[in-house]
Amino acid sequence: MPVIRFLKLSPAVLTALIDGDLDAASKAAETPLSQFLVDENWLWRIRLDDIHADPEAADWIARAVLADPEGVVVGHGGFHGPPDADGIVEVAYSVDPEHRRRGYARAILRALLDRADADPRVTGVRASIRPDNAGSRATIRGLGFRKIGEQWDPEDGLEDVYLRP
């Protein structure tokens, strides 16, 4: 499995990514970022709003994923926010198309599960996946997730909802 590390993205980095300024984002992050992160600016708008509404959210969301030891951005991962009232966190991750099919999604998910397992407030991890997303379904397979229902997402449409206690 590839070795990865997370890089927390500060509000300054998120703002530069939203503005499409890769150079400013990389400078604020103190590491070279990628166009893939700039292209995800819709997500950074949401996450920046989340951080403004709840500064604790910054410890759970908005992280770039770098391959080690190369230090190359291969994607991003985190949670939708801190644990909810029931102790549930929802995983969110994506791998740059240039780096897919190399085990990064599984490595990201395993690291996120380790993060969730280390926090005594977390009682479960949720994943919402479109039924046609075979890659994401394969990524969670064997990691303790079970389908608990379906939901409609305004961005993605129908999603299957999985939970890992």
As beta bridge partners, residue 66 has 5, 73
Place of tokens 């992280």: 63
Report the CATH number that the domain containing residue 13 is assigned in CATH. Answer: 3.40.630.30
Give kind and range of the element (H or E) at residue 110. Answer: helix 104-117
CB 142, CB 113: distance < 8 Å: no
Domain count, the chain: 1
The pLDDT tens digits for 109-141 are 999 999 999 999 999 999 999 999 999 999 999
Q: What's the CA gap between 94 and 6, in Å, rounded?
A: 13
Q: Which of 114, 113, 124 is nearest to 148 (CA)?
A: 124
Output the pTM of the full model.
Answer: 0.93
CB 48, CB 18: distance < 8 Å: yes
Q: Which of 95, 89, 96, 99 is nearest to 136 (CA)?
A: 95
Q: Which domain holds residue 26?
A: 4-164
The pLDDT tens digits for 59-103 are 999 799 999 999 999 999 999 999 999 999 999 999 999 999 999
